[in-house]
Amino acid sequence: MPHFSYQHGELHAENVPLTQIAHQFGTPTYVYSKAALVENFRSYSDACKKHGRGDDGALVCYSVKSNSNIAVLNLLGKLGSGFDIVSGGELLRVLAAGGSPRKVIFSGVGKSREEMCLALSHDILCFNVESIPELHRLNEVAAELGKKAPISLRVNPNVDAKTHPYISTGLKDNKFGVAYEDALETYRVAASLPHIDVTGIDCHIGSQLLDDAPLLEAVDKLIELIDTLAAENIHVHHLDIGGGIGIDYDGDKPVAVGDYLARLFAKIDAWRAAKYDGTPIKVLFEPGRSIVGNAGVLLTEVQFIKHGETKNFAIVDAAMNDLMRPAMYEAWHGVQPVKQRDAATAIYDVVGPVCESGDWLARARELAIEQGDLLAILSAGAYGMTMSSNYNTRGRAAEVMVDGAQVHLIRQRESAADLFALESLLP
């Protein structure tokens, strides 16, 4: 992970030792690198500029669900990012962070009337619509507000992303999107509705993709559909290809963002030159994990070392409520001791204190550790804090951002009193 490295035998975030952060803010704590966030975002924005896509030709819409801290959103917004949201709450986070609603696209299969009204009142860029009933509801809400709702259809191209089934979203049996075979008729319905403005087309086939071949295959199918729509005088002005580029969790070798975008833009440019006299089409992206995933770690302290008959356990103060991915997906996260020891190693399962057998963060890891040591759970910047919960009445972790030699608290640790503040006793 760039910007997290050992210096004199101690793991640092940029120029700050993680021991200092633990002493100052306690554990468990999420630690993010500002430099890593900036570098990862610019891998997209710089590639777009390199291929002649300025603000009018491309828009990187960061996937808010991957990490929604308002300091993260504010930083990315200042870099020019748009935002991909999946709830009204996420829209309010973007606004609180100073993000522009005119750079917001609203995805998700179950948008409520209240969420539609909120988004329309702020004149967001586009709704990614996923069904005909949603089209009709959005048309009704827009009519009540005297507006036209800009939409793209999320088309399900039935392309296998070759990733974990829980994060694959582009196959026929997934709940997301409009089936490719039904897309033309759905666009006809959209074009007929008086308070709907067809502006684009969208797809997102899954997450943690290491190869861009499935993404480029999906783009081929969208291009074919755009040509069919144009023949019926239904014209789209942007092509949203979603996100999904993976990160290195365990020696994974994801495609480089610049290489992927070079192949993508070459394909789009050749198509537009052949069919539309070179008339450009705006390209939207929805990256999340590839921007924030390897920009953060979860810092935790070993509470006890427990030697069992068949296993050794390192019981830490972080748990499945802090980092759900291992329990939910059997996801791999690297584990490193904050201070390197010149001592014998042993094989440990790294587990938390939550009262569930599924409460584990890492299995069968070779570590040289003792009670009281600090561990860093790596690649935890995406889907860590956003998926955390208060199970067992555990307050959610603190979050800090490191900027060079400075550390900023960007979310306070929750107390037990915070957790039941909204509850009431019976009279």
The three-point CA angle 362-366-368 to 5° equals 115
- Whether the link from the prior residue into 28 is cis, omega within 30° of 0, is yes
Active site residue 355: yes
Please check if 414 is assigned to a binding site.
Answer: no
Under a CB-based contact definition with an 8 Å cutoff, are residues 260 and 245 in contact?
A: yes
Please check if 329 is assigned to a binding site.
Answer: yes
Please check if 134 is assigned to a binding site.
Answer: no
Distances (CA, A) of 267 to 24, 217, 227, 260: 51, 11, 15, 11
Buried b (16+ CB within 10 A) or exposed e, 300-313: bbbeebeeeeeeee
Pairing between strand 149-156 and 178-179?
parallel
Please check if 289 is assigned to a binding site.
Answer: yes
Please check if 356 is assigned to a binding site.
Answer: yes
Please check if 130 is assigned to a binding site.
Answer: no
The DSSP result for 286-352, as a single string, is ---HHHHGGGEEEEEEEEEEEE-SS-EEEEES--TTT--HHHHH-----EEESB---S--EEEEEE-
Please check if 244 is assigned to a binding site.
Answer: yes
Q: Which residues contact 348 (CB under 8 A, 6 or more apart)?
A: 305, 312, 313, 314, 364, 365, 366, 367, 369
Please check if 341 is assigned to a binding site.
Answer: no
DSSP at 365: E
Element containing residue 123 per DSSP (H, E): none
Please check if 287 is assigned to a binding site.
Answer: yes
d(CA 340, CA 209) in angstroms, rounded, equals 33
d(CA 127, CA 143) in angstroms, rounded, equals 15
Question: Given 48, 61, 117, 355, which residue is catalytic?
Answer: 355
Annotated binding site for pyridoxal 5'-phosphate: which residue ranges?
Answer: 244, 286-289, 383
Annotated binding site: which residue ranges?
Answer: 244, 286-289, 325, 329, 356, 383
**Which residues are designated catalytic?**
355
